[in-house]
Chain A
């Protein structure tokens, strides 16, 4: 994808979520963009930025450069890009799981705890995606080592969020599905 394709898609994602970022003056807005774009890309490959886990990551230098270059367009959410159904579905899930307590308007502040949880979610997703079924303890240890400023509860919530967002029904074995079905029948 070209740089223009990527940033157009980012604008479409922000438009769908109702986020109008003030790139120049609002660190929160830039932080939100980095995490949302990473999670959407991990779930749907909507964009193809390279991300590092460091520097309050997941963080993409290319994304950073592009949102500064196109700050005016992003603030007006002017874009020609369209989102697929899969991309809209992923964004809806991201909004529900991670953003429900974060104001999507740059004008309204929200607690840093929600931003910390979003950072933990992105960090956990980075490893969940690259390592097949990482053990919970190992994942916790990695995130805690990389992000010591995050509280343990924030990390645990972030790991749960990441697992929920990246849940792939195909990974679940037939026997587990049977157990779930049996349990549901028992409940009813």
Chain B
């Protein structure tokens, strides 16, 4: 039992080191999750309304994600005009997977044992 608990803690610490601290914020995790949910992509306004953040913050975060290769943007036709649609790239999916695995470990480590 002790060895198993230590393994969980060790795994959590190891996973924490592998996370990119630049992206593990509520709004950034939410951005990755929402882009994963709608794999055809989301427009800027969709993300802004869902996240409730300022334009400055969202533009900076999306730019950082593009630089990291987590997402790509392309123009598509919509209602007679061109709109920018963001989609999650494989690196973005991998980053989201690391976050989900980390969260599973947090749940495991903070589980029933210490009640």
**A residues within 8 Å of B by Cβ?**
25-28, 30-31, 54-56, 59, 61, 64-65, 68, 106, 109-116, 146-149
Closest residue of A by beta carbon distance from B48: A149
A64 CB contacts on chain B under 8 angstroms? 38-40
**A-B pair number, CB within 8 angstroms:** 58
A112 touches B80 (CB 8 A): yes
* Distance of A141 Cα from B85 Cα, bound (Å): 28
Closest residue of chain B to A111 (Cβ to Cβ) is B80
Q: Which residues of B contact A106 (CB under 8 A)?
A: 77
Within 8 A of A (CB), among B65-115: 76-81, 83, 85
State the CA gap A31–B42 with chains docked (Å): 11
**Considering the complex of A and B, which 3 residue pairs feature the smallest CB-CB distances, nearest first?**
A109-B80, A112-B79, A27-B76
Q: Closest A-chain residue to B39, C-beta based?
A: A64
Instruction: With CB as the reference atom, state the residue of chain B lying closest to A28.
Output: B78
How many chain B residues touch A (Cβ–Cβ < 8 Å)?
Answer: 19
Instruction: Check if B78 sits within 8 Å of A115, measured CB to CB.
Output: yes
B residues near A (Cβ < 8 Å) are: 34, 37-40, 42-43, 45-46, 49-50, 76-81, 83, 85
Instruction: Please indicate the chain B residues that have their CB under 8 angstroms from the CB of A26 in the complex.
Output: 76-77
Looking at the assembled complex, report how far the CB atom of A149 sits from the nearest CB atom of chain B, in whole angstroms.
5
CB pair B78–A27 under 8 Å, yes or no, is yes
Closest to A54 in B: B50
Q: Are A55 and B85 in contact (CB under 8 A)?
A: no
Q: How many Å lie between the Cα of A147 and that of B40 in the bound state?
A: 20
What is the CA–CA distance of A25 and B78 in the complex, to the nearest angstrom? 10
Cα separation A64 to B87 with both chains bound (whole Å): 14
Contacts of A148 in B (CB 8 A): 49
Whether B79 contacts A111 by the Cβ 8 Å rule is: yes
CB pair A55–B78 under 8 Å, yes or no, is: no
Which residues of the other chain, A, contact B50 by a CB distance below 8 angstroms?
A: 54-55
Residues of B within 8 A of A54 (CB): 50
CA distance A68 to B41 in the complex (A): 13
